[in-house]
Amino acid sequence: MLNLYSAQIEALSLHRVGNKHKGETVLFSDKPHPLNDELAHLLKEYFFKPFREKEENFFQFEHEADLEFNPVYQSICSIFQDPDSFHLESKKITTHLFEQSNHPHIKSGEVYLAHFSDVVLDQQKIEAIGIFKSELKHDFLEFAEKADGLDLLIRQGVNINKLDKGCLVFRVDQEEGFRVLSVDSNRYDARYWLEQFLGVSPRTDEQFYTKNYLKFCKDFAKDVVLPAEDKQQEVLFMNRAVNHFAKNDAFEESSFLNEVIENPELIPEFKHYKVEKGPKYSIEDVSHFDIANKAVSETRKKIKNVIQLDTNIQIKMDFINPESAERFVEKGWDEERQMYYYLVYFNREENS
């Protein structure tokens, strides 16, 4: 789990990259940018805000030949080893970003590199390097006092409430390519930032497998369970799936199938669906992994446990105790009205 509250900016370098395809250039600062408390506070909020609002989907640096050939990884290693090399390495990183800015859609912008201390990841204080880019400029109003009143001026600048692109590289798991978080508000050039510049791939750890397997189950419920049975069974299947993950420390597929899929006819359907759709979630060859509790909690919050009826009535299932829905909710068909119905049993109405 990431906590950025105590993080401090130890060094900051600013540069600008143009679009190489359009013949624009790169502009380097001669030295690191000075910081005061007010500026540091504003920049931390600007840099960190999107990471607080985003799921912790970790990446790691990679290279088809060897990690040492990934230029960003190489510079990050140099900074962690020798903090005095920070500004020099920031220029190398910016140069590499400029070299990748050769598509007409890529926008020019300012590049900020920051060396952070006291970042808390998994309850440990560590260092981190941040690489951020501002691209979009916004109009704002500026007021100037004159002898006869106020003058209104239109300026352009960066909206510090919205970071365009950024990544945080944490000083852990160096040999595997570090742990990296990335954000990108402008999705039209995602490959440029993640693949061509950073050279990262999703980190296949317990968080990755837990989250992706549950996403796969959600699609299986929608694509197979719902057409084969009904909305109630779709919801109940996901209830059982999430609860299975929540009560176990490790995942074992055969045990999961026996406990979660109540209709035996759906087990071969599940296996066939995994062969067909598994590569999309990178789980085609995965049947054992440790379970990440945080990923389970995040999935539980996102999955809808409501049956929405066309008569403007909703039935909400208990996600923690799915057996309640199975014991006390029955579905049937009314011949006289030619309509389906749900029969709900209860002892008393409870005040909300």
154-198 tens-digit pLDDT? 888 888 888 999 999 999 999 999 999 999 987 666 688 999 999
Please check whether residues 180 and 238 belong to one and the same domain. Answer: no
Distance CA 177, CA 168 (A): 13
Query: Tell me, what's the pLDDT at 122?
Result: 87
pTM of the model: 0.77
- Mean pLDDT, residues 92-100 taken together: 95
Last residue of a domain, one of 203, 218, 236: 203
Please check whether residues 171 and 55 belong to one and the same domain. Answer: yes
Please check whether residues 117 and 221 belong to one and the same domain. Answer: no
In a domain, 53, yes or no: yes
Six token digits for residue 318: 């208990």
Query: Tell me, what's the pLDDT at 24?
Result: 92
CA distances from 102 to 21, 73, 141 (A): 4, 21, 33
In a domain, 176, yes or no: yes
In a domain, 213, yes or no: yes
Query: Tell me, what's the pLDDT at 188?
Result: 66
Question: Lowest-confidence range among 168-182, 228-242, 320-334?
Answer: 320-334
Residue 256, H or E segment: helix 253-260
Rg, Å, the chain Cα set: 26
- Mean pLDDT, residues 79-97 taken together: 97
Beta strands in the chain (DSSP E): 2-3, 8-17, 26-28, 59-61, 109-121, 124-134, 138-146, 149-157, 165-170, 179-184, 200-202, 250-252, 288-290, 306-308, 314-316, 329-334, 339-344
Last residue of a domain, one of 179, 203, 227: 203
* Cβ(342)–Cβ(330) below 8 Å: yes
CA distances from 232 to 22, 223, 256, 258, 306 (A): 56, 14, 20, 19, 9
Lookup result for tokens 């990690």? 67
Please check whether residues 138 and 278 belong to one and the same domain. Answer: no
Please check whether residues 142 and 74 belong to one and the same domain. Answer: yes
In a domain, 351, yes or no: no
Q: Is a pLDDT exceeding 70 seen at residue 48?
A: yes
Tell me which residue range forms the domain holding 173.
2-203
Please check whether residues 154 and 180 belong to one and the same domain. Answer: yes
Q: Is a pLDDT exceeding 70 seen at residue 88?
A: yes
Provide the mean pLDDT of the chain: 89
* Cβ(72)–Cβ(59) below 8 Å: no
| pLDDT confidence band for 67 (50 / 70 / 90) | very high
Query: Tell me, what's the pLDDT at 322?
Result: 58
Please check whether residues 191 and 154 belong to one and the same domain. Answer: yes
232: left (phi over 0), alpha (psi -120 to 50) or beta: alpha
Please check whether residues 8 and 137 belong to one and the same domain. Answer: yes
Query: Tell me, what's the pLDDT at 321?
Result: 62
Six token digits for residue 187: 């999705």
Please check whether residues 198 and 214 belong to one and the same domain. Answer: no
Please, is 167 exposed, middle or buried when counting C-beta atoms within 10 Å of its C-beta (0-12, 13-18, 19+)? buried
Q: How many domains does the chain have?
A: 2
In a domain, 190, yes or no: yes
Q: What does DSSP say about strands 8-17 and 109-121: parallel, antiparallel, or unpaired?
A: antiparallel
- Residue 289's CB: how many other CB atoms inside 10 A? 18
* Cβ(119)–Cβ(125) below 8 Å: yes
Residue of 207, 187, 166 lying closest to 58 (CA atoms): 207
Please check whether residues 140 and 251 belong to one and the same domain. Answer: no
Please check whether residues 140 and 281 belong to one and the same domain. Answer: no
Please check whether residues 222 and 89 belong to one and the same domain. Answer: no
Last residue of a domain, one of 166, 181, 203: 203
- Residue 114's CB: how many other CB atoms inside 10 A? 27
In a domain, 349, yes or no: no
